[in-house]
Amino acid sequence: MRVGGLQLSGMRVGGPEHSGMRVGGPEHGGSTVEARDFPTNRGGLCQKGWTAGALLRTPARLTTPLLRVDGELQPTSWDTALDFVAARLARTRVEHGADAVAVFGGGGLTNEKAYLLGKFARVALGTAQIDYNGRFCMSSAAAAGMRAFGLDRGMPFPIEDLAASDVVVLAGANPAETMPPFMQHLTGKVIVVDPRRTATAERADLHLRPRPGTDLALALGILHAVVADGHFRADYAAERTTGFESVWRIAAAWWPERVERVTGVAARDQREAAALLAGAGNAHILTGRGAEQHANGTDTVGAWINLALALGLPGRPGSGYGCLTGQGNGQGGREHGQKADQLPGYRKIADPAARAHVASVWGVPAESLPGPGRSAYELLDSLGTEGGPRALLVFGSNVVVSAPRSSHIANRLSTLDLLVVADFVLSETAAAADVVFPVTQWAEEGGTMTNLEGRVLLRSPAVPVPDGVRSDLDLLRGLAIRLGQPEHRFPADPEAVFDELRRASQGGPADYSGITYQRLRDGDQLHWPVPSTEHPGTPRVFLDRFAHPDGRARFTPVEHTGPAEPVDDQYPLVATTGRVLQHYQSGAQTRLIAELNDAVPEVFVQVHPDTATRAGLLDGGRALVVSRRGATEALVRCDVTMRLDTVFLPFHFPGAQRANLLTNPALDPHSRMPEFKVCAVRLEAR
């Protein structure tokens, strides 16, 4: 779980060597949470952080494995559950092949869990079919960063650098609600790009409100203004980049007045944004899910990177481009092997040298490792189909609520021969499983997390593990041994797993080989890459060169195409989804905390009063929000700050209140990110 809004970078559990939040001991029932001063959170916590201890004593906690018998989940022993799952997995592999078994991970798993999960899939199961929910959160920014810089690290500079920034652009990010302690770092002018007047936008010096799905056109318009008004950093471009001419051939046609007609953002505001950025001594451009979760999300993020490069920001001390990571271990979770196309250290699984290195660490032949598998939505969509997986293991994710076109995904899950879920509460996905394993949660286990700056953080257990509960590492070890793997190949001790991860990542883009638990216990602040135990870490990458072989960043030509699903007479409005302050991700955890759930107990649709009136809706009444894929029941919240053509729904709620009943699974061709942020809908009175 992300606590304090900044991916555990603002929490301390177990001792002073960790980060900035302390959990009370047994005399408090493990429920007291205190902030600690740390570079990322500066002693602050959000509401989710200070209430997180309540999860440690929730009555909904699972403490025994569950096995479905005669249609009902019944308590059973660990040995019985492990034996059952291992036997079914082995039989499925024999009868249908290794790829008939799939694994779905999560961006909240520790580095050790993500690493061992990827190893388990490829060695113990031999399957290529593994991906994770980070594909729904950060994959477009990762793809754009790799394309532009040759390396994906969400923020390639410490978060403290933002405090010295004269101007910060937040494109599609709402940190005032999603990571409130982050706001302390924004001391200069703030430009917010968001169709909604969010809590972050209310604090902005300039709020640009594009029509949903037109962010790329807006970035092109601001880039046009930068060049046309004489602010282009030609010296930087010549020395440190390639490809500007191909980008300018497109941006030259997107003058601000044309962009205004497409986006609704006034030309004068585009030029003001360009002037503010150009006149700043230090400036940063940061993107979030609002820029990424589109069928052209990689190109949209790429357009903002192009703007940053035209201004000479990336790799310049005190300035830069970065991505605000969305999950508890969103950065580390995508570096060490639970993504369909990757091996530990951010290596590509199709690279023969990468395969040889990792296989040597694992003690298996390189040719035994499978190749790339399906991306997250494609994996879920293929379940139970001809040639698709017939068994699925889910760790740290609640896909019944979080996946786009979620009713379809729930139907796909129901066709499986075997669904296994590891969780500490009975999430909506766990409730549909054949076997549920009760596993440890954040304050009960040790391990490392990598925050949005690439800073590796160590946490130690703060409270005892409840009787009957085991760690995910124990679970993977138990299954691997039952599947015929030697005991030494799957250790369950986090430090032992991390030591192996260090060796597997050595020489890769995300090199952790110089990081040790002892260095972290001693208080070393280590940002990867850390290629040796004497290396101090790399808080600022790109200062001297970018990660492409020639050391230069790449301008990438991108063109505005608009949403995959346009509005029409039958579906005249645009629905966009997002988070609220009190809830996190699918809400499986935060909905169990009374303080949070009482504040926002159900899904709502935020709509302009005039739009509501035209649909026959009343503020506080009920509405049906209908798309081509399904309908969501929601409470009506009228808000005069909303665009007339746009409605908003948070995605934290289950059942008929799932916002993802509506969303479009159209995928970005580069990142395979679904288009969560734009779908055509209509409103109906209930």
What integer best gives the mean pLDDT of the chain?
91
466-525 pLDDT, tens digit each: 999 999 999 999 999 999 999 999 999 999 999 999 999 999 999 999 999 999 999 999
Distance CA 422, CA 195 (A): 37
Cβ–Cβ under 8 Å, residues 53 and 32: yes
Task: For residue 640, give the amino acid letter.
Answer: V
Cβ–Cβ under 8 Å, residues 78 and 59: no
- CA dist 30 to 9, 21, 26, 540, 567, Å? 20, 13, 5, 37, 50
DSSP 429: T
Give 97: exposed, middle or buried? Use CB within 10 Å, 0-12, 13-18, 19+. Answer: middle
536-586 pLDDT, tens digit each: 999 999 999 999 999 999 999 999 999 999 999 999 999 999 887 677 777
Maximal CA-CA distance, the chain: 72
Distance CA 22, CA 30 (A): 10
- CA dist 546 to 152, 308, 513, Å? 11, 14, 21
- CA dist 14 to 92, 111, 243, Å? 42, 18, 50
Domains of the chain and CATH, by start: 66-136+329-449+466-506 (3.40.50.740), 139-324 (3.40.228.10), 573-685 (2.40.40.20)
Cβ–Cβ under 8 Å, residues 553 and 240: yes
String of DSSP letters for 590-601 = GGGSHHHHHHS-
**Residue 106 CB-half CA count within 13 A:** 22
Global pTM value: 0.92
Handedness of CA 573, 579, 582, 583 (dihedral sign): positive
141-195 pLDDT, tens digit each: 999 999 999 999 999 999 999 999 999 999 999 998 888 888 899 999 999 999 9
Cis peptide upstream of residue 529 (ω within 30 degrees of 0): yes
> 198-206 long-range contacts, Cβ below 8 Å, gap at least 24?
198/174, 199/174, 199/581, 200/170, 200/173, 200/174, 200/175, 200/176, 201/174, 202/176, 203/176, 204/170, 205/276, 206/269, 206/272, 206/273, 206/276
End-to-end CA distance of the chain: 35
33 has pLDDT over 70:
no
Residue 596 pLDDT level (bands cut at 50, 70, 90): confident
Of 259-268, 320-329, 442-451, the least confident: 320-329
Give kind and range of the element (H or E) at residue 500.
Answer: helix 494-505
Share of the chain above pLDDT 70, in %: 92
667 has pLDDT over 80:
yes
Which residue(s) pair with 395 in the sheet?
422
String of DSSP letters for 263-294 = H---HHHHHHHHHHHHH-SSEEEEE-HHHHSS
Which residue(s) pair with 650 in the sheet?
578
Cβ–Cβ under 8 Å, residues 651 and 660: yes
Q: What are phi and psi of 77, to 5 degrees?
A: -90, 160
Which residue, chain included where needed, has tokens 């979030």?
A: 288
> 158-162 long-range contacts, Cβ below 8 Å, gap at least 24?
158/39, 158/453, 158/455, 158/527, 158/539, 158/540, 159/39, 159/40, 159/185, 159/452, 159/453, 160/39, 160/185, 161/282, 161/284, 161/318, 161/320, 161/540, 162/186, 162/187, 162/284
User: Which residue from 132, 141, 131 is spatially nearest to 292, judged by alpha carbons?
Assistant: 141
Distance CA 52, CA 629 (A): 35
User: Which residue from 437, 419, 438 is spatially nearest to 429, judged by alpha carbons?
Assistant: 419
pLDDT at 581: 66
Share of the chain above pLDDT 90, in %: 81
